[in-house]
Amino acid sequence: MADANEIMAPEILPQGEPRRNWRDIYFTGYDGIRLYARHYPGDKSKRPIVCLSNITQNGRSYEPLANAISSHKFGNRPVYTIDYRGRGLSENDPNWKNYTPLIEMADLMNFLSLERIHQPTFIGSGWGGVILMTLATMHSSMLGPVILNDTGPKFETNGIIRVHAFIGRLPLPTSWLKAAEQLKDLYGNSFTDLTNEDWRRIAYQNFNQKDGKPAPAYDPELQKALMMLDVTKGPPIMWEQFLALSHVPVLAIRGENSDVLSKATFEEMFNRHPNLQMFTVANEGHCPLLDDDLTIERIRLFLEKCDQPAHYEDEEEASYENPAYGQHHSSLIS
């Protein structure tokens, strides 16, 4: 497992971005495996935000968003990002069969207990949204507001087959420039507005660093876990799990070019959930990066609508009436 100080690639960080403004957290999963998370400090009177990444990604994918919403300009909110087992700076699991939403939900619950976080706002991208829907089904009282990023109760088969095709099968780039080129080749048709500098920054998010060069940031054995799913029969349908989110406000985000979350499913989510807002990110696919000004502002507005005193277990609970709960936001924003 890489050390937190090894993954920084200063030559590809956006100009002017602080090198380090977070706290490293190492914790154990339910079975003792060593896991990694980050805490971007903010105002403890604000509801904390916990970010869950897509299946092969790690908490660094949220770095631009976490920097923004933990800043004074966007509300100074505390943000946590988590590397699942076998991703980022967390240890690989010796048993690949543990790479499941249920196991990773248990790790998440351990983390929330460790940091004494109760009912945070959750952001889940792709796989992270599946974990959140699983949590809603089994432990709904742990949820605060939810942001679902290009994820939902039904995934398109062609998109899932595309994702399965490259997990664990791509050659390791020998330089950061080649890492950026590899990602651009894979995703450039869906993310059409990104510059070469953007792709270099995304390369830092998607690879660890060792001896100044890209290193794997996810366990290739993850491929075996995904092969347990017969995608030729279509991915599982999770409407029941999605509707377990009905008691909390949801912001559903979709990439305009997504081949994983269809526009029809996206609209049906809006029709079935009593308190869901919609937002489409132009010129991006699966999953939107959540790093452009328009998307960050839309997230900020949702967070403000859901504002209430932070809910930490070691603090006295405040009584409040949250106007964001129990209302149907009927505006389609795209």
Per-residue pLDDT tens listing for the chain (334 residues): 555 544 444 334 443 444 568 999 999 998 999 999 999 999 999 999 999 999 999 999 999 999 999 998 888 999 999 999 999 999 999 999 999 999 999 999 999 999 999 999 999 999 999 999 999 999 999 999 999 999 999 999 999 888 888 888 899 999 999 999 999 999 999 999 999 999 999 999 999 999 999 999 999 999 988 887 766 666 779 999 999 999 999 999 999 999 999 999 999 999 999 999 999 999 999 999 999 999 999 999 999 999 855 455 554 333 223 333 333 333 333 2
Chain mean position to CA 177: 25
Asked whether 221 and 96 are in contact (CB, 8 A), the reply is yes
pTM of the model: 0.87
pLDDT for the residue 73: 87
**Taking a C-beta distance cutoff of 8 angstroms, is the pair 20, 53 a contact?**
no
Q: Can you list the domains of the chain with their CATH numbers? A: 11-154+237-305 (3.40.50.1820)
Maximum pairwise Cα distance, the chain: 55
pLDDT at 215: 96
pLDDT at 248: 97
The answer to whether the bond into 287 is cis (omega within 30° of 0) is: yes
Pairing status of strand 208-210 against strand 121-125? unpaired
